[in-house]
Amino acid sequence: MSVVRVTQPMLVASSLRNLQGGLNKYADLQEQLSTGKRVNRASDSPSDATGSMRTRVAISDQNHYVRNAENGIGWLGTVDTTLSSMADSTRRARELGLQGVSTGTSSVNSREALAVEVDQIRADLISQANTTYLGRPVFGGTTAGAAAFDTTTGAYLGDSGQVMRTVADGVQVRVDMPGTSVVGPDGASLFDDLTTLSTALRAGDETSMRTALSNLQGRLNDISTAQATVGASYKRLEQASQKGQDSVVALRTTLSDLEDADLPQTLMNLKMQEVAYQAALGATSKALQPSLIDFLR
């Protein structure tokens, strides 16, 4: 059986190595207390660090989805408010048309007054149809222009593109409303119906008035259908936003479990490590007594 001879340099080196190890543990615990994090670098816990990075990416994705949903809610809120206003204006135009076909308001002057108000409603409706959100027309599709309709003729200037918002992985929601589905195509649009009604009022053409009134009722139905579509999309975005926010909360809890230090436990460990280190210092000072060489110097 061989015997290993322990020399003074070996004892010194071993003692210093152990002291340094204890000091490193003490420093690590101090860092955890000061940062509040159990994992401050990948070497602290490679598996937890990997999970932490993945969780942070997931949090970033969910925050992006929530921002998209909130932006979409802004779009659809603007569309819905505008549609309600357009419906009110269109109903007022129908009321004027009904007055025009009644026998009690058949004078030229009264019909002219009605026609003037119809013209004003038409101009106002074109302005409403050009409503924008963050500088983009909500009824213009993906057009880069500032308006969806020509302010004079009412001709459609937008395109058939769809403004989409990604609110979850693989889930997109449309947040605009095609202008032609609300007011109709060029040549047979809400604005054309109002022009027809205005002309018929001035001419006293009851047949044309009734045709325009029937068309306006159809436009009101189209606006109502558009509002229902917007309402359904709005609800989806609200749910997506809430789901995304809930996911962020859950992911942050997971991240905390992976990274955060248990401060009371860490403080206790620090005190224990401090006591252990002080004890090691005392033991080492006694073990490394001066040698005979030290006395002979």
The pLDDT of residue 265 is above 60: yes
Evaluate whether residue 1 is within a structural domain. Answer: no
Evaluate whether residue 13 is within a structural domain. Answer: no
Look at 23-37, 116-130, 209-223 and tell me which has the smallest mean pLDDT: 23-37
CA distances to 21, 92, 173, 288, 297 from 9, rounded to whole Å, are 18, 103, 74, 10, 17
φ, ψ for residue 167, nearest 5 deg: -115, 0
- 259 confidence band (pLDDT: 50, 70, 90): low
Mean pLDDT, rounded, for 127-131: 97
The pLDDT of residue 215 is above 90: yes
* Range list of H helices, the chain: 8-35, 46-101, 108-129, 179-183, 190-203, 206-259, 263-287, 292-296
More confident residue, 85 or 260: 85
Burial class (CB in 10 A: 0-12, 13-18, 19+), 156: buried
Q: Which two tokens stand for residue 94?
A: 């129908």
Count up the domains in the chain and report the number: 1
* Measured torsion, CA atoms of residues 14, 18, 24, 27, in degrees rounded to the nearest 10: -130
Q: What is the distance between the alpha carbons of residues 166 and 294, in angstroms, rounded to a whole number?
A: 78
Evaluate whether residue 278 is within a structural domain. Answer: no
Q: What CATH number is attached to the domain comprising 105? A: 1.20.1330.10
pLDDT at 134: 94
Look at 105-114, 136-145, 208-217 and tell me which has the smallest mean pLDDT: 105-114
CA distances to 33, 44, 181, 275 from 272, rounded to whole Å, are 14, 20, 74, 5
More confident residue, 283 or 148: 148
For 147, the domain range is 65-255
- 289 confidence band (pLDDT: 50, 70, 90): low
pLDDT at 162: 96
Mean pLDDT, rounded, for 47-65: 88
Evaluate whether residue 127 is within a structural domain. Answer: yes
- 255 confidence band (pLDDT: 50, 70, 90): confident
Evaluate whether residue 53 is within a structural domain. Answer: no
Evaluate whether residue 146 is within a structural domain. Answer: yes
Report the largest interatomic distance among the alpha carbons of the chain, rounded to a whole angstrom.
135
pLDDT at 295: 44
